[in-house]
Structure 1
């Protein structure tokens, strides 16, 4: 369990936090990525991450995804992940369908319970304990998955829960291609795997090394088997922080910067990142692939080192596609 190297060719994506950039700069980046990678995603924050008191320019996710959908044409697009406590789930389902149609059926949204306490409180949301937020997530996915399920336009959803309720709600039009793959994300030990197995087509986890990723994959396999689901039907992805550099001297300097900033945690940080030169990045992607990743995303914090991004797109991506199944 946990190792699925033969299931499908590895996908390569880029996860872009929509902060510290103008919308025009984001659009230019998306258009370039669309020519090269398989997946482009954004996150759902109301403030910047890591937290800085809302002082960094930052765009809201639903509107940003509309722009991403309209300015790309090839790559799948995603949100890793929508914070379900921020929005009425039925309204979010309707937003998802609109983005799906704008994108021509390329949208694969993800859902989570949220973690960014400062933005919760600043925008008037209660930051409940994690169990309550997971209850909100589960109820939200019950509504969203029902509203987006394949079927006729006459299908309706009624749900009454502790946190959300809908009464005979319809989603017309429905998904462009009849269905929309749903994702969740995180490394939680119990409820995250259960949510992924029950509701989702895909699961994502950020910033973990290959050994930890393999362990989490086995936990996900077990959650699928608990409900008699074939684990191979659940797509797996990982986000890796982007600390790649184009030359050995620049790569060594970046690793030293990480050590100075993170101290004893530097090894944990680099385990969940692309580091070094393009050659070592290829090895790191291969290790995560062998640990069960179907999709490997690099997570960009803007502004990004232009030479490093060029090296990734022009050297690493084609080599991985040529050498890894």
Structure 2
């Protein structure tokens, strides 16, 4: 199992050594790097050493850690402080870490990974000689139905030797090693890596939660795939989707009841995400903003601009300028 991680490029993704640092400085570095609030316990504060690297690429927050033994908590008081509702994946590269959350506990060794939830109390017991790479993504980026299913996976141990996990973690580590000058390309790749990560987690959700008790999830996934295949069609509508997927309009709406989106809201969300990828693509720099909106079925310039800004918080032109800076 440990051998599988030796095949993955770490590069800039994870510090190779831990530097001597005071507990207060370490707390500040971690909380800033992860953009969450943690509390810490140190057996020997004077001897502690740790190094953390962090960066954001698209929708992914990535941080690598090398450190000595200590304990990390997300206590109820920590949960009230700033931070978006997120999942965090942690891959062990060296040493051990015990992840405790939601009444479960898993001890990770090199080549093993686990998921934890930013909205629930958490304890991480870290050994000496510890190194890990970690990925944070907002629950909103995977949708409410996946977020609910993934919540049943916290504090469970998974191996990088199985399924698509080796491919996913290789992509994550390669993305973390991407040179800063390739940030615009990284935004494009990060979207694909997030999709791969969600697919990897979905493979572990079978039978772990209430959403899998009938064919509801299977039907919804078929609908989502149909929508993605036809995002560029400006005539994509609820009635045509229902007909193509052999469900009634009423049943189609019901499939989205617990997702946090309406059917049309999901279509709009996916179109905006597709536009973001095109706007951040240096090869499409000369393509007019309005043409990108039209390519993904978002109509005229004013409609596209309004829909995009409502979702992204900036205009398409501002997003492109920031992404290609």
The structure showing larger relative contact order (alpha-carbon pairs under 8 Å, at least 6 residues apart) is 1
- TM-score, length-scaled by structure 1: 0.28
Greater radius of gyration (CA): 2
- TM-score, length-scaled by structure 2: 0.28
